[in-house]
Every structure is written in structure tokens, then in C-alpha cells.
Amino acid sequence: MGQYQPALLRRYNPDDIARHYRYRPWQIWGRLLRIIWSFAGFILSLKFDEWQNQVEQNKKQRATQLRELLTRLGPTFIKVGQALSTRPDLIRKDFLEELIKLQDQLPAFDNVLAYQIIETELARPVAEMFSELSPNPVAAASLGQVYRGRLVSGEEVAVKVQRPNLRPVLTRDLYLMRWVASWLAPWLPLNLGHDLTLIVDEFGTKLFEEIDYINEGRNAEQFAHNFRNDPRVKVPSIYWRYTNSRVLTLEWIHGFKLTDTQSIRAAGLDPEEIIKIGVTSGLQQLLEHGFFHADPHPGNLFAMPDGRMAYIDFGMMDQLEETTKETLVDALVHVVNKDYNDLAADFVNLGFLTPDINISPIVPALEAVLGNAIGKNVGDFNFKTITDQFSELMYEYPFRVPAKFALIIRSLVTQEGIALSLNPNFKIVEVGYPYIARRLLTGESAELKRRLLNVLFKDGKFQWQRLENLIAIARTDGSFDVLPTAQMGLQFLLSAEGQFFRQQLVLALTEDDRLHTAEVQRLWNLVKDDIQPNRLLNVAIAMLTDLSREGAAAILPKATSFMPFSGNQSPDKN
């Protein structure tokens, strides 16, 4: 096997990196001393403030000092700071506000060098590819910077150029982080459920994916495909002829950052509608597509003048399995319905608790935390409150946060923070739960239909109030049509697969030795305005037709088995 070089490593591999540096300590000691010296000076500053009783007076100065320290240490530490900037449960508010600036307020590298990288990577002079290209970057991030330009064919584009010598720098820093993590893990008061070095490895894997611009382009196209039928979501097109692993050329997005409320309102847009697009598209990513944007900070989301919301920067993405998506739906419904026993089981299924754990003492703890966070009103729920409460629960009970869910939590908390900046009274569940209700009521898969019926039956009894609540909540924005849902539900109940639930529904209607006509009347009053006689007749005819076809399909094979062969037919010789 050839000599390993950090610059040639395409995927993060801690073993290869360790083998390289084990025999080259002179390549890392200088960097390690610089990191230690930088953080030692910062910690001493904090201690000095405590000794002098000047913590309050100097807290803004110390927050700025931390941001500048991470910026000086380079891309790896900037990415760490960005991750921490979305964790209000770990970072105090003054530090949080300063670390948020790491998202898009970073120093650029030399423009001459950036132009050289473009020409070297794409193997053509800039003038042959672009009729215009800004002399300075319009944005600088931790891993690269962006120029605004126009292709010779006329399309307006953004050109993303990776910082020079990036891969060797990240490789060295990740090796040092992993080495320090292996020493510090036993001394840190963290209930992680696994080795701290695994967190560094997950961070390294995602970081190496993020610096591969070909991977980012493919992510963007998959994301666009998932939202191809949603006219509210915009994804920029990728120009592959002008893209490789270190240069990415994509469609220029005209819009306003979601935090720029003044420009959004000046363009005649309603910030509330933009919030709804952001929340519902975020839930669609998690609960429908399973492929989600894991870095939705304000610099990556734009409100467009035509009312659409645009996503950019698809370097940090992740994929959820089908069972995980369905369990997430369960967990959200159980939170809202305050079914804490079922919620504890969901935490086991999602990997927050090990299967062998006794969940009995955990259930009242969940009830105390979530009951207090949600209060009497579902609309009082917010993710920041939940993460604050759970950060305390993590130390008392054997919870752990799987790496994938750390990204999901980050995504949800960030999106909620953006929404709160647009509307301080924003409640994420007021937008999110109607989507979840519609998702359950219109579930296209048999598994989702079963989940709906499991929600409606508890302890062998039909929960009439839950069905009323789901329908009422689903109809809050006027986009829910109850008739197709009713048709789908009846078809499922009349099918062989729905036999068990059909029996349960009959029992529910005659429960306690009485017909539940009052409950049925309330449901009818809720939906009668949506059900017009002519539509109801068309649905009935369609259902009868489907049932006739199914019956014919079932009878036909039996009938044909008794039909004699005609003169033109021959039996199967086998």
C-alpha cells in the first residue's frame, strides 16, 4: 500500500490518520501547544473575572474573545463553534449570541488564490467560463467562500470555492481532538452512553462529507427531487460542468435571510407564512422523505420575493430509516397526548435508552419534564424548553443522544430560533402538529394507517376525543379535505387487513352497552360542511366500483380453474 498523505484522504478514517501521525509527532506538537495556550489564556481570563467579581461586566468581552479564539484556530474549531451556537442547553446566552456570528461573519482568504483554485480545479481560465465574477467574495464561511458571477451562457450563479490546504488542516485537528477526547472522557461529567471518541469520529465523518462539493451537489439534487411537487420550496440548480470536489457552481438565489424581517416585510411578504413553510418543510424532511438538512442556520435559508423559501448549502445532510420516521410520528403524538409510558418505549426504539433498561422510574421523570414544558396548552410547547429540561434529565437517568438525533435536535432548535426571531410569540406545535395530524389522517402507507388506529384506540377503548382533536387540528389552516381521508379509512376498514380494527370500531360504537350516537353526531357536526352530497355520491360510487373489482379479482382465479380448454389452448405441460 502506498504512503498515506493527509491531503489525499477522501474519507475520514481515524486509523489511517493515527498511523500517519504516530511516527510524525513533530507535525502535531506545535499545533497542540498553540491550541492549549489559546484555551488556557481564555480559561484564565474567566477565572480572573471570578476573582475580581467582574463576571457580569466582562461577559460580552469574554464571548467575543471566545469567538475570535475559535476563528484564529481555523476551520475545524469554527465548525465546533457553529455546532455549539445551536445548543442553548450547553452554552450560556452571551456566548451563544456571539458564536452565532461564526455562521456567516468570517474572514475571507485571498481572492487571487481563490481565482487560482477555480482555474486549477476546472482546468480553464476564469474568462472562458464566466462573463462576470465578483472581485471579492459575497460570503465567507468556515470551509469556503462564495463569489457571485454569470456564466458565459448567461445564467447568474454562485461559485463556492474551498479554502486552500483544507483537508490536511482538518485531518491534523481531528487527530488531536480524538487524542484529547480519549484522555478527557473519564474526567468529564457526561452521560453519553458511548466513548467520547465516537462523537469526534461522527463529527469527522460529517466534516469530510461536507468538504466534498460533488457530494454536496448530489445532496442538493436529491433534496430538490424530494420537494419537486412543493411549489413553496426552492432549491438552486447545480451546474455540473463547472463543479468538482473543491469548486461548486450553482444557481444564484435572489432573496432575504430569514432573520432580515425588515426586508421581508418591505417585499410585501408575510413572515408568518415563511415560518410555516420552514416548519412544515422541516417536518416533511424528517417524517416523509427521511433526508434532512442538518445545518439550517440563518445564512442557509432565504425568503424569496415570490413567497417561496429557498434552501442552500447541502454539505451537511443525513438520512433516516423508514422505521425511525414512523417512530418519530409516534413519539410526537405521544408527547401531545401525554402518553408517557408509550413515549418511554419510543425512546428505547429510537436509541435514547437501551432495550434492557427498566423504564418504570423514567416514566414519571418524563411526565414531570414534558408536563411542565407543555403545560395545559399544546401551543405552549417549544424545543428550547425541552432541551433545557432534558439536559438535566440526562445526568439523572441513562439517556444518551444518538449521533443522528444530535443533528435532528440541532436542526429543530435552529429552525425554532429563526422562527422566534421573526415572531417572538411563535409556537412550533401550532404549525407542526396540524401537519402531523394531516399526516396521520391521510397516511398513504398501511403502517401509517395502523398507527392512526393505534392512536385512536387506548387500553381497548376508542378515543373519540382524540379523533375530534386530530380532525379539528388538521383543519386549522383550511388545507385539509376530510372526504378523501374518510374514503381511505373506510376502504382500509373494509379490507382484509382492517378486519381487527373493524371489530374494534363496532365495539367502540356499542361500548358500555349503549350506542355512541352523541360522539358520532359531534364528528358529523365537525365535518359536515366539507362533505357535499354530490361529492359524497361520487365517492360512494368509486368505492362500490373498487369493491366490485376486488371481488371480481378474487372470484376470477377460482372460476377460471374450472373452465375447459378451448381448441386454441393447451395445458401447461409441466
Task: Report the pLDDT averaged over residues 162-185.
Answer: 89
pLDDT score for 419: 76
Task: Report the pLDDT averaged over residues 268-293.
Answer: 87
Query: 77-86, 110-119, 270-279: which has the highest mean pLDDT?
Result: 110-119
Q: Measured on CA atoms in the order 33, 39, 41, 43, is the torsion positive or negative?
A: negative
pLDDT digits (tens, 9 = 90+) for 468-522: 666 666 666 556 666 666 656 666 566 665 565 566 666 655 555 554 566 566 6
For residue 337, what are the CA distances in angstroms to 441, 523, 529? 16, 19, 27
CA neighbours within 13 Å on the CB side: how many for 312? 26
The confidence band for 161, taking pLDDT boundaries of 50, 70 and 90, is: very high
513 catalytic per annotation: no
Determine the 3-state secondary structure of 257 from DSSP.
strand
Q: Measured on CA atoms in the order 52, 57, 59, 61, is the torsion positive or negative?
A: negative
Of 566, 336, 299, 574, the C-alpha closest to 469 is: 336
Q: Measured on CA atoms in the order 45, 50, 56, 57, is the torsion positive or negative?
A: negative
Task: Report the pLDDT averaged over residues 192-216.
Answer: 82
Looking at the predicted structure, is the pLDDT value of residue 547 above 50?
A: no
Choose, from 173, 201, 295, 313, the residue flagged as catalytic: 295
pLDDT > 90: percent of the chain: 30
Q: What is the DSSP string of 14-43?
A: HHHHHHHHHT-GGGTHHHHHHHHHHHHHHH
Determine the 3-state secondary structure of 491 from DSSP.
helix
Looking at the predicted structure, is the pLDDT value of residue 206 above 50?
A: yes
Q: Which of residues 185 and 265 earns the better pLDDT score?
A: 265
pLDDT score for 555: 45
Radius of gyration of the chain (CA): 29
pLDDT digits (tens, 9 = 90+) for 396-438: 777 777 767 777 777 777 777 777 777 777 777 667 777 777 7
Residue 156, φ and ψ in degrees, nearest 5 = -80, 130
382 and 416 Cβ atoms separated by less than 8 Å: yes
pLDDT digits (tens, 9 = 90+) for 64-74: 999 999 999 99
pLDDT digits (tens, 9 = 90+) for 134-145: 999 998 888 999
